[in-house]
Chain A
Amino acid sequence: MDTQPPIHVSLRDVTKVYVSGLGRTHAMGPIDIDLRRGEFFAVVGPSGCGKSTLLDVIAALAPPSQGVVTFEGRPIGDAVPEGVGVVFQENASFPWLNVADNITFGLRRLPVDGAEIERRLQYALQLMGLQDFARAFPSQLSGGMRQRVCIARTLVMQPRLILLDEPFGALDQQTRLLMGDELLRIWRATGATVLLITHALDEAAMLADRVAVMSARPGRILEVIETGWPRERDSQIVSVPEFGTITARLWTLLRAQSMQALRPEAV
């Protein structure tokens, strides 16, 4: 009997082909995966393999050329489904709004009353350590703090599925590790399903329940590795021997793919 949590997101035979004046680029697929409710799922792969495309397709920011993406049992159309939150790699904070207004930007468009907005804002400020910066503007904050603002902005809308596209890509290693811990806390506190796209193997191995390795372009899923970590984990898991084994396995798979990605394109 299936004691696993129900399937939250499912991709069947999903492919993405970009057509431009220069011809067709087969960016990704075919891809078949399932994300279970409440799991932390990471995707790693060489540069250019289509990881970001995968996220765009799941978020309905780009339509698949082929195949079906299902979210909570319903196929995704061209509109971003309700209940999905996205955090991007580039800084997407609005420079003309202060931190508090940035965070409540999306929330204000939901049917939520003022008191609830304020409550969620305070909760997010506290969770992300931004209480002292509510009136500050993004230009006055560091890169890491701006990303926290973007994460908070997504959180207050209480998404059931959180998609993160290399959210810590622009940050230094120490900040990345600390943000990873914060991400885990958020994941536990909200019970959301998390999909993390990253190029950092250690990050994926440390944070996720399952890690999918994508091949070089066109990206396909080579293997999905179960980490088996307990839910209550943090960055100190790096000292556990299994962490080394998992990271080694990821690198073995990835090394061949990365070398292939680095080869000059055959014309």
Chain B
Amino acid sequence: MGTSLAGAAGARVMRRIIYAHPSLFLVIVLLVLWQAVFWLVGRDALLPPLETILYLARLLQTARFWGHIAETGTAFVIALVISVVAGLAIGLALGVNRMAAEVFEPFLLAGNSVPKIALYPIVLLIFGIGMPAKIAFGAIHGVVPVAIFTVTACSNVPPILFRAAAAMRLTRWDMIRSVLLPAALPDIFSGIRIGFSLTLIGTILGEMFGSQRGLGYLLMTAIGLQNIQVIMSVTLLLVLVAATVNTVLLEQDRRLRKPGG
């Protein structure tokens, strides 16, 4: 009787801790699962978490690895800038012009559902092997969600806000600048957040074939040589970077939607 009460209280405390720090618990659960799968599957396919982390730490101490990171990082940043600028431009152009939005909407949606890897050979043929191809491929992945979210953001602004602005005699430019953009910002930011992740994936994919340097190249070579250590450490690095940045962006996203709260 006493032990079951203590058990119930303990469970309640556990629940509260988990609710307070869900991400932490998720990471713990995933690590446990990882270790379990390793025990099931063996060294041919996987490395256990601890060894992977150690191997990654060793890689991060070599200048060569950082060279690859720099290569991928440079391509990614440029691709991201292009994605955001182009995506915003397209999204806003369609956002303020309803006829254009209606005309081009299916093209945008098609861009989202088409497996862009099928376009990869075309990118390689146009840009040749190297940096430009990576950047282009990364940008193609990122532009689409930014544009789509921006268009949706503009059309989701409650029309009453525009009526109120008209009643206050705002000029068209003033209305775009001080009503449309701030009102659409939360959804636009979500688009940029998703565009960030997709651009990273696109850049890595772009490196897998048309390159002699970069994390994607490392990954691809390791797959060919069945070098489990490199595969796992690079994947871990990518997952860590992607998850961390995405979490930060998510927090900012939440703050944009609930200002002051």
List residues of A whose CB falls within 8 A of some B CB: 59, 61, 79-80, 82, 84-86, 88, 90-92, 94-98, 105-106, 109, 135-137, 139-140, 150, 153, 157
Contacts and interface: CB of A to CB of B under 8 A. Distances in A.
B236 interface: no
B164 A92 contact: yes
Interface in B206-261: 258-261
B177 to A, nearest CB: 12
Contact of A95 (B169, B178, B259): B259
A80 B258 contact: no
Q: Among A85, A106, A136, A157, which residue has the most Cβ atoms of chain B within 10 A?
A: A106
A135 B183 CA distance: 19
B103 interface: no
Contact of A94 (B166, B183, B258, B261): B183
Contact of B164 (A79, A88, A95, A135): A88
Contacts of A140: 260-261
Interface of B: 158, 160-161, 163-164, 166-170, 174, 178-179, 182-183, 185, 258-261
Given A96-B183, A96-B259, A86 B158 contact: no
Given A61-B163, A94-B161, A139-B261, A106 B182 contact: no
Contact of A86 (B167, B179, B182): B167
B260 to A, nearest CB: 4
Given A91-B160, A94-B183, A109 B167 contact: no
B185 A96 contact: yes
B169 A80 contact: yes
Contact of B170 (A84, A109, A136): A109
Contacts of A157: 168
B167 A80 contact: yes
Nearest to B170: A109
15 contacts: A61-B167, A80-B169, A82-B169, A86-B167, A91-B160, A92-B164, A94-B161, A95-B183, A97-B182, A105-B168, A109-B168, A109-B169, A109-B174, A139-B258, A139-B260
Contacts of A95: 183, 259
Contacts of A80: 166-169
Contact of B160 (A59, A84, A92): A92
Given A96-B182, A137-B259, A139-B259, A85 B170 contact: no
Contact of B167 (A85, A96, A136): A85
Q: Is the interface of B mostly helix, strand, loop or mixed?
A: helix
Contacts of A85: 167
Contacts of A150: 164
Contacts of B182: 94, 96-97
A86 B164 CA distance: 8
A98 B258 CA distance: 11
Q: Among B163, B167, B168, B174, which residue has the most Cβ atoms of chain A within 10 A?
A: B167
A47 B168 CA distance: 27
A102 to B, nearest CB: 10
B260 A59 contact: no
A103 B158 CA distance: 19
A22 B138 CA distance: 46
Given A95-B183, A109-B168, 13 more contacts: A61-B167, A80-B168, A85-B167, A86-B167, A94-B161, A94-B179, A96-B185, A98-B260, A106-B168, A109-B169, A135-B260, A137-B261, A153-B168
A153 B261 CA distance: 23
B167 to A, nearest CB: 4
A6 to B, nearest CB: 24
Contacts of A59: 167
A109 B171 CA distance: 10
B165 to A, nearest CB: 9
A136 B169 contact: no
Given A96-B183, A109-B174, A90 B169 contact: no
A55 to B, nearest CB: 10
